[in-house]
Structure 1
Amino acid sequence: MSFAAILIFALLLDALIGEPRWLWDRVAHPAVLMGKLIRWCDNHLNSGDNRRAKGTITALLLIAVGWAAGTFLGAFGGVVEILATAILLAQRSLVQHVRAVGDGLRMSVQEGRRMVSRIVSRDTAKMGETQIARSAIESAAENLSDGVIAPAFWFLIAGLPGICVYKLINTGDSMIGYRNDRYEEFGWATARLDDLLNLIPARLTALLIALPARCFDWQGIAADAGLHRSPNAGWPEAAMSRALGIALAGPRAYDGQMREFPFVNAQGRADLTPVDIDASIAMLWRAWAGFLALCALIAIL
């Protein structure tokens, strides 16, 4: 089977079963194993002099391990490739986590805060309804790119080795890609690689969000994407804000300190509710369906 045909089955399988707890309660999820490898590198290499060089070695190690693992698993044939790829996609689990925020917010603001704290790193203790909904929708847009479209894109390009390398680098960026005293040098190579690997998928995700909503203001999306601190994450967020006609981003607190980030689609509706979270979930599925159709077209051609 072609990469596109395998990916179609993997996308459908992930959408159908997601992350079965009965399985991952018994064996370690690949993401857990990836995290252990990255933490080992952090503990053993991130000290002393030449941290940038050691971080570059770490990034190269992640590439080598990902490629080797993907090549090994791919040797077992199409069924294993479908299963492994489905495990490395996150459409259904993303929808479940975002929906849980909307359901919690309908119960109470406190329950909404508890649920949104599971998917964002910002401070949630003082969030109101709008801030909770906005955070969930931003997370939905960004994780559609990181958790679904980007890994699927790299599977289309390089098969199972491609998606394994992407997931290791992306996980590494989430763990050591911070601009602080500990990771500024050590995480530099992994963070830059993650930026490179997400360059095309982030913009593709924006298209997949915008087109079903008949949102053709690509110039506005690009302008708002440029306001984001990440060279990639702003694209799906800007597309989602225009697709739903709402304002996203803006000020938020991290570790007790308020950060004055600009609004995305500042002219959009500012007051958000769980209904807007529901609308963002619908956009996740429309984008997923658009990518599935793209895979089918590639498979046919």
Structure 2
Amino acid sequence: MSTAEILLLALLLDATMGEPNWLWSRLPHPAVLMGKAVSWLERRLNTGGARRAKGVLAITLLTCIGLGLGWLLSLLGPLAELLVAAILLAQRSLIEHLRAVAQGLSQSLEQGRHAVAMIVSRDTAQMTGPQVARSAIESGSENMSDGVVAPAFWFLVAGLPGLLAYKMINTGDSMIGYRTPRYEAFGWATARLDDLVNLIPARLTGLMIALVGAVLRDWPAIARDAAKHRSPNAGWPEAAMARALELSLAGPRSYDGEMRDFPWVNASGSKSSTGPAILRCCDVLWRAWSLGLALLVAFALIF
């Protein structure tokens, strides 16, 4: 069975089954184990001097662990590769989290805030309804790249070792890749490596969203908006989604009690996002996923 065929089945399995609670209530999820590995290295290396060099060592070790573990698991055969890949893809769980925010907003603002706090790192306690909806849509767009397209891309490029290495890097970035006094030096290498491995997948995700959202004609404007984002990658799917939904995204938001004046993406769009807008985002994400699946089928047939 080819890598493309395994990936195709893994995408379908993830979309069908998602995250089985009965399993992860009994066993630690691989993402949790990766997080523990990052935490263990951070506690032991992020001290004293030469923290940038120690951070380079940490992400090198994490990447090597991912590559080695992926290689060992691949020796178990295609079925093991299929199951591991399906576990580390996150399309269905992404949609479920977004729908939970939409459902929460339909019940009360407080429920919406509680649901969106599960998927974003910004302050949520004082959010308005449109801010809750925008946050969910932004998170969904970015995580389509980080949680679905990038893992699939690296599996297709380098099999299970590529997928496991990517997830290690991305998990590390989500934990230590911040410009804070504690992590700015130690997490520098992890953040830069994460930028590199997401360079192609983020732009591919933006292109897929633009295609299914019928806004490919706006690609120059999408590129301009993407360049405003503090991340070199996250702005691409977010800018494409903003155009597809005719909404303004991003803008000012609060982190750790401090309001930050980020620029608007698609500033001329509506700033009154609602629960139904989140559901429209889910529809676009499923259509982008379907497009990716069709492209993968074509790839498998050709190669």
What's the TM-score once normalised by structure 2's chain length? Answer: 0.99
Q: Secondary structure at the match of 2:259?
A: strand
Letter in 2 for 1:17: M
In structure 2, the partner of 1:246 is: 247
Q: How does 1:140-289 map to 2 (within 5 A)?
A: 140-216=140-216, 217-289=218-290
Stretches of structure 2 that go unaligned for 5 or more consecutive residues are none
CA distance in 2, matches of 1:44, 1:126: 36
Q: Secondary structure at the match of 1:258?
A: strand
CA distance in 1, matches of 2:35, 2:272: 37
Please state if 1:63 is matched with 2:60: no
Give how far 1:211 is off.
0.2
In structure 2, the partner of 1:118 is: 118
- Cα deviation digits, residues 40-97 of structure 1 (max 9, x gap): 1000000011111111011110111000110000001111100000000000000000
Give how far 1:129 is off.
1.0
CA distance in 2, matches of 1:269, 1:208: 22
Number of equivalenced pairs: 301
CA distance in 2, matches of 1:200, 1:272: 29
- Cα deviation digits, residues 208-231 of structure 1 (max 9, x gap): 101012112110000000000000
Q: How does 1:123-134 map to 2 (within 5 A)?
A: 123-134=123-134
In structure 2, the partner of 1:73 is: 73
CA distance in 1, matches of 2:77, 2:101: 39
Give how far 1:191 is off.
0.6
Letter in 1 for 2:264: F
Give how far 1:153 is off.
0.4
Counting aligned pairs with the same residue, the percent is: 61
CA distance in 2, matches of 1:35, 1:134: 27
Give how far 1:155 is off.
0.3
Stretches of structure 1 that go unaligned for 5 or more consecutive residues are none
CA distance in 2, matches of 1:103, 1:188: 38
What's the TM-score once normalised by structure 1's chain length? Answer: 0.99
Q: Secondary structure at the match of 2:242?
A: helix
In structure 1, the partner of 2:98 is: 98
Q: Secondary structure at the match of 2:7?
A: helix
CA distance in 2, matches of 1:255, 1:213: 34
Q: Secondary structure at the match of 1:253?
A: strand
CA distance in 1, matches of 2:63, 2:28: 21
Moved over 4 A (4+): none
Report the aligned-residue RMSD. Answer: 0.6
Give how far 1:180 is off.
1.0
CA distance in 2, matches of 1:130, 1:213: 21
- Cα deviation digits, residues 189-241 of structure 1 (max 9, x gap): 11100000000000000011010121121100000000000000000000000
Letter in 2 for 1:45: L
Give how far 1:181 is off.
1.0
CA distance in 2, matches of 1:296, 1:207: 18
